[in-house]
Chains A and B, each alone.
Chain A
C-alpha cells in the first residue's frame, strides 16, 4: 500500500509529463482549426498547385509552391554545405583525432551551436553575401545561396556531433579486425565503421534537414521576402517560415484570411518536420536495439 503523500507526489509528477502531451495536442488543434477556416475559403487544390503566393496584395493568390520552393532551395544549399563538413568532422574526431584534441574541440563546436540564429542571419547578410557578391555576378542583396550556406554552417555541429556518437557506438572489435588485416585508418573508417553506423548517421542528417526546414531567422533576414517560384540560388526567395514572420510583423486582423494563411503555412511546415522527425525516431530506436 502506498502512502497518500507518495501517491500525491507521483500524480503531480505525472501531470507535468502530461503537459507535453497537451502541448502536442494544442499545436495540432491550433493548426487544424485555423487552417480549417483557411481551406473553407481557398480550395486545397489551388493551395497545392497555384504558382503564386500573394495574400497580402489586392490580386490574391494562395499557392504554397513558391514558399515551398524557397524552403526546399535553402534547405538543399544548407545540406550541401553541412553534409561534407559534418561527416568529415565526425569521422576525423572519432577515428583519427587524439583524445586531447577531441576534448578541447568539442566545447568549441558546442559554442558554435549555441549562437542565436538571429546572429547567424546578421552574419549571412553582412559578411557572406558581400563576399559572394564579389565573385558571383547577379547575386541580389537578399538571396537563397548566402542564407543556405550560413544555415549549413549552423547545422554542422548538430550533424557532426550526432554522427560522431553513432560512429563511436560501433564496437572497437570491428576496427581491430580491419586494422589487423592491414587496412589503413581511412579504409577502416569508410569501409567498416561508417557502414556499421549508417543508420545513426542518417538520423543526424534527417534531423539536420528538419532543422533547416524549420529555421526562421537566417532566411527571414538574408533570403528576402519575395515568394518566387525559382530554383536559382542567386534570387531572393521566401520560405514558409519567413512568410509567417513577415505577416506577424505587420498589422493583421485576427480572423481575416491573411491571419489564417500563417496557420495554413504553419501546418505545411509541421507536417514536413513531423514526418522527418518520426522517421529519425524510428531509425534511432532500430539501431539502438541493434547494439543492445
Chain B
C-alpha cells in the first residue's frame, strides 16, 4: 500500500525556479512514466521522491510530498529510512567496483545485518527477481565490472530490490543499453509491477507507451498533462503534449 502524492511542489536551485506547482498522485502497483524534453524537470522531480537532491547546496523545495499520507520532507523523517523504502535505479549502470555478491549485499550490510545465511538467501532471491541469477550464479565472487552493460543494470536493480523497497524510481534505466538489454529491462519492469510502485523517467515514448499505466508530461518545469497512458498517447488534451508525442519537438 504505497501511494505518492505531490501537493504544490516547487523546486529551486538557488534563484533558479525549476519546478512549478506540481500536483499529482501515483497509485500503488502501477507504473507511472514521466516524459518530456531534456531539462523539463522530470528527473529533478523523480529525485525529490527519495530526496536525492539533498546534497546539492542550493536545493530548496516548498509544498508537500507525501508517501502514504506522510510528508517525506518533514522534520522527523530520516532520509536513510526513506531511501530504503524508495529505491532508485540510475541512468547509467553504476555497480560498485566490488564482487557481484557484495554489490547486492551492500544494502543489507549497511543496515547492520550480519546474518550470513539471511544475506545469501536475500542476494539469491533478488538476483532471481531481476532475472540475472541464471547468468551469474556460478560467478558471484567475480567483479561486477566484468558483466555486460545490460547485466550491470539488472544487477543494479537486484541491488535495489535486496533492501525490500516498496517504491522503485528509475531514471532512464535503459537509455545506455542496446535494444536486447532494453527489452529485458522492460520485461522485468512489467513483472515487478505486481509487487512494487514504479516511477520511471524516459526519453523514449514507445517505451512509455509499452510499459506504463499512467503518463505525466513535463515541459519547462510544469506538469502539463497527467492521465492514463492510453489517453495521453491516443487522445491528448493539451496541444503541447500532442506536439511532443507526435515528435514535432523534443
Contacts and interface: CB of A to CB of B under 8 A. Distances in A.
A–B direct touch, CB within 8 Å, in complex?
A: yes
B90 interface: yes
B156 A179 contact: no
A184 B83 contact: no
B159 A181 contact: yes
Given A98-B57, A183-B80, A192-B96, A178 B52 contact: no
Which of A98, A99, A173, A177 neighbours the largest number of chain B CB atoms within 10 Å of its CB?
Answer: A177
Contacts of B80: 182-184
A142 B88 CA distance: 59
A191 B97 contact: no
Contact of A173 (B82, B94, B110): B94
Contacts of B87: 180-181
Interface string B92-134: 1011111000000011011100000000000000000000000
Contacts of A184: 80, 110
A174 B50 CA distance: 16
A196 interface: yes
B15 interface: no
Nearest to B89: A180
B81 interface: yes
A176 interface: yes
Interface string B132-162: 0000000000000000000000001001100
Given A98-B57, A176-B52, A191-B110, A181 B84 contact: yes
A196 B160 contact: no
B106 A180 contact: no
A76 B63 CA distance: 56
Contacts of A192: 96
Interface residues on A, range: 10 to 19
B163 interface: yes
A170 B222 CA distance: 34
B163 A177 contact: no
A33 interface: no
Contacts of A195: 97-98
B107 to A, nearest CB: 4
Contacts of A173: 90, 92, 94
A123 to B, nearest CB: 36
Contacts of A191: 106, 109-110
A181 B96 CA distance: 13
A180 B110 contact: no
Contacts of B163: 181-182
A11 interface: no
B52 to A, nearest CB: 6
A176 B90 contact: yes
A171 interface: yes
Nearest to A99: B57
A20 to B, nearest CB: 36
Given A187-B110, A191-B106, A182 B94 contact: no
Given A195-B97, A196-B97, A182 B107 contact: yes
Given A173-B90, A176-B52, A181-B159, A196 B111 contact: no
Contacts of A178: 96, 106, 110
A182 B80 CA distance: 4
Contacts of A171: 94
A176 B96 CA distance: 11
Interface string A3-38: 000000000000000000000000000000000000
A174 B145 CA distance: 13
Contact of B81 (A174, A176, A182, A196): A182
Which of B52, B92, B94, B98 neighbours the largest number of chain A CB atoms within 10 Å of its CB?
Answer: B94
Nearest to B54: A179
Interface in A147-203: 171, 173-174, 176-184, 187, 191-192, 195-196
The 6 closest A-B pairs by CB, nearest first: A173-B94, A180-B88, A182-B84, A182-B83, A181-B107, A182-B80
8 contacts: A174-B96, A177-B156, A178-B96, A180-B52, A180-B90, A181-B83, A183-B107, A192-B96
Interface of A: 98-99, 171, 173-174, 176-184, 187, 191-192, 195-196
Given A177-B156, A182-B163, 19 more contacts: A176-B52, A177-B90, A179-B55, A180-B83, A180-B87, A180-B90, A181-B106, A181-B159, A182-B80, A182-B107, A182-B111, A183-B110, A184-B80, A187-B110, A191-B106, A191-B109, A191-B110, A192-B96, A196-B96
